[in-house]
Amino acid sequence: MQTTASSSLSAAQQTASVRMPGPARHYGRALYLTINIAILVFLLAPIAIVVVFALNPTPFIQFPPVGVSLRWFEKFFASRDFMHALWFSLEVAVLTTASATILGASAALALARGNLPGTRLIVATMLSPLMLPAILTGLALFQTYVLLDVGRPTWGLVAGHTLVTLPYVVRTTLAVLHNFDTRLEEAAQNLGASPLRTFFELTLPLIKPGVLAGAIFAFIVSFDQFPVSLFLVSPGNETLPVTLFNYLKFDLDGTIGAASVVSIVLAFVVVIGLDRTVGLRSYVKL
Amino acid sequence: MSSTATTRPNGLALFILPSALLFGLFFFLPIGLMAVMSVLTGNPVVMPKVAFTTRHYARMIGDPYYLEVIWTTIRIGLVTTLVALAIGYPLAHWMARIKSRTGHALLLMAVLAPMLTGIVVRTFAWMTLLSDKGVINETLIALGLISQPLKLMYTETGIVVGLVHIYVPFMVLTLTGVIGRIDERLEQAAENLGASPLRAFIEVTLPLSLPGILAGSLLVFALAISAYVTPILLGGFQIMTLPILIYQQISANFNVGFAAALGIVLLMISLLLVIAYNRALRLVSGQRELQ
Amino acid sequence: MMKALGPLSRRRFLTASASLGIGTIAAPYVARADDPTLRITGWGGKWGEVMKAEIGPAFESEFKCKLQTDSAFPYLPKLQASSRSAPIYDVLHTNSNEQWAAAEMGLVEPKIDPKLVPNLADVYPYAISDKIVGVSIFTSAIGLGMRTDKGYSGVTSWKELWDAKYNGVRGGYVIPVNSLGQAFLMMCGTLFGKGQTDLDAAYTALEKLKPIKIVDFTGAMEKMLLSGEVGMCVIHDSGIYRYDGQNQPTDFVSPSEGVLSLEQVLTITPGSKMKELANAYVNYMLRPEVQKRLAETVWYSPANKKVKLDAKYDAKLLTTPEKVSKLIQVDWKWYNERKDEIDQRVNRIFRA
């Protein structure tokens, strides 16, 4: 019997509405949820440990915890080094996100629509900073800065961060562009819009979720970036991960837990803010 | 993705220029410098007399220890990727299919939380969990299930656990987009044509999510083989991977040439992988007419 | 009325904020142009705290300069990558093994001029011995650290570490990256072989030391001892004594075969443009008051003979000629020449 895809779909949908779920379905569903909950526990357990450690008064790893104390938070906020590092990390992350997003999204556009020769090779090249151990990238950049006699300026650090976060923006933007229905653009132009207008009023808003997902990646990766920063920070201008790492060498106490809790909260504010305003959800469905 | 080889570049192509400039100055130049240093006896920037040498590479080939290190690195990368995939897929599927907006937001937060903790602290948290006097051992001993602590730290397993924890979010976020784009009605159609939910999943959803699986796996593998903070903190230098060796050579042996050579090897491994990935992707895309 | 003032006040506002902005950006440069900056390295933790709070500012105000401290270890790769004529540090503060490596690479001056650093005349012989490049401003004794609540008794020798009862709670260092571990390796040669340079004896001894938990930095070892993860370990006296007053169940043992010396060494870079200030800094760090304050904060033994420490510190640290004469200094020049092959061997010994 010849049926078109759509009619068989609707037939299937009709059947679906009258089918009763059997016991196997229940177990399947229960298993699915159990597995996922277990995975969530795995993901969140270390975070819980960090929070516990941030509140435990003893100055070293100890389980079970002996109490609740805010002394590490006090120490963290009272420390000029940590506060400066926190703000500096935020500053660098914002600058990095801005540059990675602009450069990455435009590169993705060029790659998806620009008919460049050797597109696949260029894409691979753009993704390659992820492949190289960041410690080498950091050292190589430091060496280059010495060669160019520029010292270790903040823009140098931002450039290094942009390099290692740009691939994420390119990836997500390309993903969205590849799934883009170009007929929409054709339709717009058929209705009289110029290519430029189509681009700004149709294409750009539709790829925005993908670009934003990449931007969020860029922010998180930059805020957390360690190996490249290790070589490119200068005394007095250190990012939080570097400061934490150095601190860890001498003092393994709850201050790092406090630092991490503060970072999580801060970053959540950013992510939730973005989700509210732009709606990351739509990225999933595009 | 039809062939674009025959059409000429248009105005949009110019948008690649800023990135090209960034890469030129901040990637190719430094990496080129590293590649050059890997075949010199010293650092040409600061030393007056340097000569060409292949001894850094010869050292690697000459000693089976280095091949072992390379293999350990790749092995940890593979295991991490597979486990991250096994763990990340169910979560990505749930996140893609969940109906409530709050639920999605909560899941997103849960997935992002490990990434936001910061690499140093996160690894340190795993040390708290896995060490002999750590949470897991103390709990198991208290429950009477074991009498001696389990050796969880300083093992490859410990490193894999730590790495998986860091990279699962990357896998999930890559997969969830792809899975989300799969039309649910296709799965429903399969089920109503007689397939069990499991079969529908295996024969419809899984194949359609293959590009996402490949992309996520590539990303996680590349990140896993270049990680060094987590392997050092959880493996205590007793498990030697290429990045740890590179770190050791730079920070304790001041042997930049050898470190550069090791780095180039690591880069080559990754590039081979990208080529393999592209091949696989072409195969997969070619077979799929649906989309 | 506001409207009439509108464009004018807006322009004025803009120019005002622009100049304020430029001023803010330029201010650091302007300030730096006035005060010469001395770039040094320094540890974090308690050392860093007291340097930042007291010692540093005191030096800055006395010598009218700014002190810029890099505490992001490792320092040597960065110094190595910077140009000889414009090194990123003026004074390098690190352990003796690294100073020797730096001297071999021509990154630091091997000898400090006593005419420019007069306090050199007051230091113990070990601080400027032929086993030191630059000058050692402090030292610590490397020996054994142990838990006092596990019933370990009669610990007097290094060889105790090899006893099977410590299996599972033995602690050591990652030899390729840690100088205590490296010094300990040479000690193994002395204990079980013909001397510091008997590598074969050392390798055999290290093989027998397993199982052992190894860490790369002393801070980590301190914490493992405190949490009970480790019960007997190689550690410097400072790592135990600095928890004095906290009632920790740990103690330091000076083994009968002798303690190794872990020196804090200062050197000056040849390309430094601040030689006068650099020498002043080295001299300053050797002043009795400065030495006393730092020694009592982190429990280092001061190199200056004239330092009078408070009783409780004096009792435990190395503050007399007899005590310091027992320090064993190792031959870093010899070790560094062989470091690559030693590392290769040791990496293999300790792999899981």
pLDDT digits (tens, 9 = 90+) for C131-180: 999 999 999 999 999 999 988 888 999 999 999 999 989 999 999 989 99
Per CB-CB distance under 8 Å, the chain B contacts of A96 are: none
Using the Cβ of C86 and the Cβ atoms of chain A, whether some distance falls under 8 Å is answered with yes
Residues C293, C50: Cα–Cα separation, whole Å: 9
A256 has a pLDDT exceeding 90: no
Nearest to B121 among A64, A160, A244 (CB): A244
Closest residue of chain A to B118, computed from CA coordinates: A224
Q: Give A248's contacts in chain C (Cβ within 8 Å).
A: 219
User: Could you list the residue range(s) of the whole structural domain that residue B109 is in?
Assistant: 77-242+265-290
Span C43-73, pLDDT tens digits? 888 898 899 999 999 999 999 999 999 888 7
Q: Is B70 a member of any domain?
A: no
The mean per-residue pLDDT over the stretch A202-206 comes to: 79
Neighbouring C-beta atoms of residue A22, cutoff 10 Å? 10
A–C interface: beta-carbon pairs under 8 A: 59
Domain that holds residue C182: 141-261+333-351
> Residue C334: which pLDDT band, with cuts at 50, 70 and 90?
very high
C25 domain residue, yes or no:
no
CA distance B62 to chain A (A): 23
Q: Domain with B274 in it: what CATH number?
A: 1.10.3720.10
Residue B38 lies in a domain: no
Q: Tell me, yes or no, whether B91 lies in a domain.
A: yes
ipTM surpasses 0.90: no
| Residue among C39, C44, C78 minimizing CB distance to A247 | C44
pLDDT band at B127 (very low <50, low <70, confident <90, very high): confident
Read off the pLDDT of residues A45-85 as tens digits, 9 standing for 90 and up.
888 888 888 888 877 666 677 778 888 888 888 888 889 99
Residue in chain A nearest B10 by alpha carbon:
A114
- Same domain? For C185 and C275 the reply is no
- On whether residue C18 sits in a domain, the answer given is no
Residue A268 has pLDDT above 80, yes or no: no
Instruction: Collect all residues of chain A within an 8 Å Cβ-Cβ radius of residue C86.
Output: 149
- Give B53 to chain C, closest Cα distance, Å: 18
Specify whether C213 is located in the same domain as C284: no
Residues of C in contact with A139 (CB under 8 A): 77, 81
Three-state secondary structure of chain A? CCCCHHHHHHHHHHHHHHCCCCHHHHHHHHHHHHHHHHHHHHHHHHHHHHHHHHHCCCCCCCCCCCCCCCHHHHHHHHCHHHHHHHHHHHHHHHHHHHHHHHHHHHHHHHHHHCCCCCHHHHHHHHHHHHCCCHHHHHHHHHHHHHHCCCCCCHHHHHHHHHHHHHHHHHHHHHHHHHCCCHHHHHHHHHCCCCHHHHHHHHHHHHHHHHHHHHHHHHHHHHHHCCHHHHHHCECCECCHHHHHHHHHHHCCCCHHHHHHHHHHHHHHHHHHHHHHHHCCHHHHHC
Chains in contact with A, where contact requires at least 3 CB pairs less than 8 Å apart = B, C
Query: Is C77 in CB contact (< 8 Å) with chain A?
Result: yes
Within a domain: residue C56? yes
pLDDT tier at B291 (50, 70, 90 boundaries)? very low
Window from A267-276, A277-286, C111-120, C289-298 with minimum mean pLDDT: A277-286
Amino acid identity of residue C48, one-letter, is G
What letter would DSSP give residue C150? S
Q: Which of A59, A142, A146 sits opposite C83 (nearest CB)?
A: A146
Kindly report the pTM of this predicted structure: 0.83
* Mean pLDDT, chain B, whole residue set: 83
A57 lies in the same domain as A140: no
Residue A4 maps to a domain = no
Q: Which CATH number do you get for residue C97?
A: 3.40.190.10
Same structural domain, C91 and C221: no
Q: Are strands C91-95 and C259-268 parallel, antiparallel or unpaired?
A: antiparallel
Q: What percentage of chain A exceeds 70 in pLDDT? A: 84
Q: Which residue has the higher pLDDT, C114 or B229?
A: C114
pLDDT class for A278, splitting at 50, 70, 90?
low
| Model confidence band, residue A21 (pLDDT cutoffs 50, 70, 90) | low
Q: Evaluate the CA torsion angle C77, C83, C85, C88 in order and state its sign.
A: negative
C119 and A CB contact within 8 Å: no
Mean pLDDT computed over B147-176: 88
Which residues from A are below 8 Å from B131, CB to CB? Answer: 61
Considering the domain architecture, whether residues A63 and A80 belong to the same structural domain is answered as no
Query: Stretch B112-138: mean pLDDT, rounded?
Result: 80
Best mutation target, B73, B238, B250, to test chain C (most C CBs within 10 A): B238
Does the residue A3 lie in any domain? no
A227 in reach of chain B (CB within 8 A): yes
Query: Could you give the number of structural domains in chain C?
Result: 2
**Into how many domains does chain B fold?**
1
User: Closest residue of B to C74, CA-based?
Assistant: B251
Q: Are C254 and C268 members of one domain? A: no
Q: Which of A144, A157, A250 to mutate to test the interface with C (most CBs of C within 10 A)?
A: A250
Nearest alpha-carbon partner for A124 in B262, B163, B267: B267
B116 with A267: Cβ contact below 8 A = yes
- Strand partners of residue C66: C37
Output the pLDDT for position C23. 42
pLDDT over 90 (residue C183): yes
A117 touches chain B (CB under 8 A): yes
Does any domain span residue C101?
A: yes
Q: Is the CB of A249 less than 8 angstroms away from the CB of C45?
A: yes
User: What integer is the mean pLDDT of B178-204?
Assistant: 83
3-state secondary structure of C343: helix
Q: Is the pLDDT of residue C27 over 60?
A: no
Q: Does pLDDT of A237 surpass 60?
A: yes
A114 with A241, same domain?
A: yes
Q: Does the structure show a pLDDT above 90 at B180?
A: no
Smallest CA–CA distance, residue C51 to chain B, in Å, is 25
Q: Does A247 touch chain C (CB under 8 A)?
A: yes
Neighbouring residues of B255: CB distance < 8 A, sequence distance ≥ 6: B249, C340
Domain enclosing residue A241, as ranges: 73-283
Chain A CB within 8 Å of residue C78 CB: yes
Contact C77 B250 (CB under 8 A): yes
Note the pLDDT of residue B63: 83
| 8 Å CB contact of B250 and C74 | yes
Same domain, C340 and C228: yes
Q: Are residue A56 and residue A197 in the same domain, yes or no?
A: no
What per-residue confidence (pLDDT) applies to B25?
85
Could A252 and C86 be called an inter-chain contact, meaning their C-beta atoms sit closer than 8 Å?
no
When divided into structural domains, chain A yields a total of: 2
Task: State the pLDDT confidence band at A277, using cuts at 50, 70 and 90.
Answer: low
The distance of B245 to chain C (nearest Cα, Å) reads: 10
Q: How far apart are CA A123 and CA B1, in angstroms?
A: 14
pLDDT in tens, C196-250: 999 999 999 999 998 898 888 888 888 889 888 899 999 999 999 988 888 889 9
Rounded Cα–Cα distance for residues C126 and C137 (Å): 10
B175 pLDDT band, cuts 50/70/90, is confident
Question: Any chain A CB within 8 A of the CB of C275?
Answer: no
Partners of A125 on chain B (C-beta within 8 Å) are 23
A248 touching chain C per CB within 8 A: yes
CB contact under 8 A, A235 and C71: yes
Most confident segment among A10-24, A104-118, A122-136: A104-118
